[in-house]
Structure 1
Amino acid sequence: MTNTRQTTRRRKTSSRRRTSSRSRSSRRGSVGIRLPFLHIHLSRAAIFGGLAGIVVYVWAFYYFFVGPTGFRWRALYGDDKYPEGYEVHGIDISHYQGTINWDRLRSNAMVDGCPIRFIIIKSTEGSSRIDPNFDENFYQAREYGFIRGVYHFWSNNSSARSQANYFLSKVHLLDGDLPPVLDVEHKPKNESVEDFQTDILTWLHIVENKYGVKPIIYTYYKFKDAYLSAPVFDDYPYWIAHYYVDKVEYQGKWKFWQHTDVGKLPGIKGHVDLNIYNGSYYDLMRLTIGNQENVVVAE
């Protein structure tokens, strides 16, 4: 009886050991199957993550430094070089420049040893927005003896006619002011080039009929080449935005060149856009509304 019980216990113990051994073996086999899968899964994630990082880097580099809209972003280290061979300098301003100290700007502002001659001011945007500092800037620019200009920022969310009428309702230029400016930088994705050009011409014609002068078109040269290269636009003075280069790459005629957006001048906190006029001060005066025949050039 005792031997039988011992034999039975040995059989049960042996059975439990075999069962435990099979269980451990099964677990090891399961781990051995899952780990390679996990390794492959992580490797694929790393590969896709790396590729995504490369794509983002290439896109960002193109957009900020190569692409046609790259000029709208601030320079990383500033730009203290000015185009050589030009004597007539100016700036363009909006509420981004804050409250301007006009006394300091008039008395001390110089660019490459030359005084600031003209100031172009943001007025309206679309068919319902006006720059909050427009009235003050518009009044003070003329009061302090600068040649004054005004620009409208084009919006793809409003019709050309409504934008032109809104601009004319808010802006009242006088003889001696520069022709009105249309700042256009974006084309609707779902609109053809021909329809877009028709819209731009509608704005230009309405404003031209009001003031009797051809408005100035402001945009960067790649945009003009792509969307405003029709011969009809060559009749309008061109203000080119082209930053951080020694010379203009645009092959056509141009009147103004916005060459940096990180200018520093007394009387203005922070950065301001710097511009040059492609001609003499006398030529600039002749460009103004009224086209004065007897121009007295102030020194």
Structure 2
Amino acid sequence: MAHPVKRRRIIKKRKSRFFGKWFKAVFSFFLILIVVISVFKFRDGFMYYLGFKTDKYANELSADERKLADIRIYEVLHKHDSKAIGFDVSEYQGEINWEQTYHIEEAFELSYVFIRATAGENRIDSRFEENWKGAKARQLIRGAYHYYRPNENSLVQADNFIKNVTLQKGDLPPVLDIEKLPKTQSIVRLKVGLRNWLSVVEKHYGVKPIIYSGESYYKDFLKEEFSEYPLWIANYNFWRNDLESDWQFWQFTEKAKIEGIDAMVDLNIFNGDKNDLLKIGLKK
């Protein structure tokens, strides 16, 4: 007969092995479940990629990252194929061959573009003029945006945008891009500055500007005071598939590849179809 102490040790070891095996089994089950759910959730994207995609654009990202980004992009576009799809560009995209920018993922029409015009008090995007003309020639619905610098004078920033952007009938409302927190002023003063910019620009163009920001930034700092403005929200969450009802535009990825543009591009979905999009453009 085994000694009582030795017997307890044997029982303890058996229990330890049992719980170790049990934990591994449960962990493996949940890991497999997550993979199965992911494959099912993005099944159209996986089928599309396996059937049609090439690796011709896999240069900025690793091959696996490029595949995952393409699958995500296709899945979201496929789900929203009745909505207007567009993109946004700045000098960071380099020279653009606008005549090639007709589709994304070889299947979805691109109908509009937002173009960075200005930043801060005196910065003009070096490719704004050529991009603005190129988008017009390509017959894209176009919009211009200003990158707001919190630590610079808001009225001077508004003047910088107004001096450099002439909007025409059919163009989208001007956009205020706010992403950074101030370093030398309070949040209260930031909001005063944003309100100044929005008011001056609205008065000049006769249309309420659109606010662009990340979802968290908007909810934390802007929603309470600026909810009356149309929203263009950036959220790249892999698991998000839909726009919120109060989002006019949703920027859902920064990793798209479009024919005619060498660098990666942000993609956006409008909360409506192309006819709805035309209705928000300038009337005169």
Q: CA RMSD in A?
A: 2.0
Q: What residue in structure 2 maps to residue 93 of structure 1?
A: 89
Moved over 6 A (4+): none
Using the alignment, how far apart are the partners of 1:195 and 1:251 within structure 2?
28
Deviation at 1:103, TM superposition (A): 1.6
**Residues 158, 236 of structure 1: CA spacing in aligned structure 2 closer, same or farther, 3 A cutoff?**
same
Deviation at 1:97, TM superposition (A): 1.0
**Residues 251, 145 of structure 1: CA spacing in aligned structure 2 closer, same or farther, 3 A cutoff?**
closer
Deviation at 1:75, TM superposition (A): 7.3
Letter in 2 for 1:85: H
Q: What residue in structure 1 maps to residue 164 of structure 2?
A: 170
Do residues 104 (structure 1) and 100 (structure 2) align?
yes
Structure 1 unmatched ranges of 5 or more: 1-73, 292-299
Would the aligned equivalents of 2:151 and 2:184 in 1 still touch at CA under 8 Å?
Answer: no
Would the aligned equivalents of 2:85 and 2:268 in 1 still touch at CA under 8 Å?
Answer: yes
Deviation at 1:252, TM superposition (A): 6.2
Alignment partner of 2:272: what SS? coil
Do residues 261 (structure 1) and 261 (structure 2) align?
no
Deviation at 1:245, TM superposition (A): 2.6
Q: What residue in structure 1 maps to residue 282 of structure 2?
A: 289
**Residues 188, 141 of structure 1: CA spacing in aligned structure 2 closer, same or farther, 3 A cutoff?**
same
* Cα shift readout 1:30-87 (whole Å, capped 9, x = no counterpart): xxxxxxxxxxxxxxxxxxxxxxxxxxxxxxxxxxxxxxxxxxxx97724112322343
**Residues 236, 111 of structure 1: CA spacing in aligned structure 2 closer, same or farther, 3 A cutoff?**
farther
Would the aligned equivalents of 2:158 and 2:200 in 1 still touch at CA under 8 Å?
Answer: yes
Structure 2 unmatched ranges of 5 or more: 1-59
Q: What residue in structure 1 maps to residue 266 of structure 2?
A: 273
Would the aligned equivalents of 2:243 and 2:271 in 1 still touch at CA under 8 Å?
Answer: no
* Cα shift readout 1:177-224 (whole Å, capped 9, x = no counterpart): 000000000121443322211110100000000111110000001001
Deviation at 1:112, TM superposition (A): 6.8
Deviation at 1:99, TM superposition (A): 0.9
Do residues 195 (structure 1) and 189 (structure 2) align?
yes
What is the TM-score with the length of structure 2 in the denominator? 0.71
Do residues 243 (structure 1) and 236 (structure 2) align?
yes
Q: What residue in structure 1 maps to residue 132 of structure 2?
A: 138
Using the alignment, how far apart are the partners of 1:191 and 1:251 within structure 2?
31
Would the aligned equivalents of 1:242 and 1:248 in 2 still touch at CA under 8 Å?
Answer: no
Would the aligned equivalents of 2:151 and 2:185 in 1 still touch at CA under 8 Å?
Answer: no
Letter in 2 for 1:276: I
Would the aligned equivalents of 2:178 and 2:212 in 1 still touch at CA under 8 Å?
Answer: yes
User: What pairs with 1:1-299 in structure 2 (closer than 5 Å)?
Assistant: 77-78=65-66, 79-80=69-70, 81-82=72-73, 83=76, 84-86=79-81, 87-106=83-102, 109-111=103-105, 113-230=107-224, 232-247=225-240, 253-290=246-283
Using the alignment, how far apart are the partners of 2:208 and 2:166 within structure 1?
16
Letter in 2 for 1:233: F
Q: Percent identity?
A: 37
Deviation at 1:246, TM superposition (A): 3.9
Letter in 2 for 1:88: A
Using the alignment, how far apart are the partners of 2:85 and 2:122 within structure 1?
31
**Residues 105, 134 of structure 1: CA spacing in aligned structure 2 closer, same or farther, 3 A cutoff?**
same
Which is worse superposed, 149-158 or 203-212?
Answer: 149-158
**Residues 282, 269 of structure 1: CA spacing in aligned structure 2 closer, same or farther, 3 A cutoff?**
same
Deviation at 1:102, TM superposition (A): 1.4
What is the TM-score with the length of structure 1 in the denominator? 0.68
Deviation at 1:247, TM superposition (A): 2.5
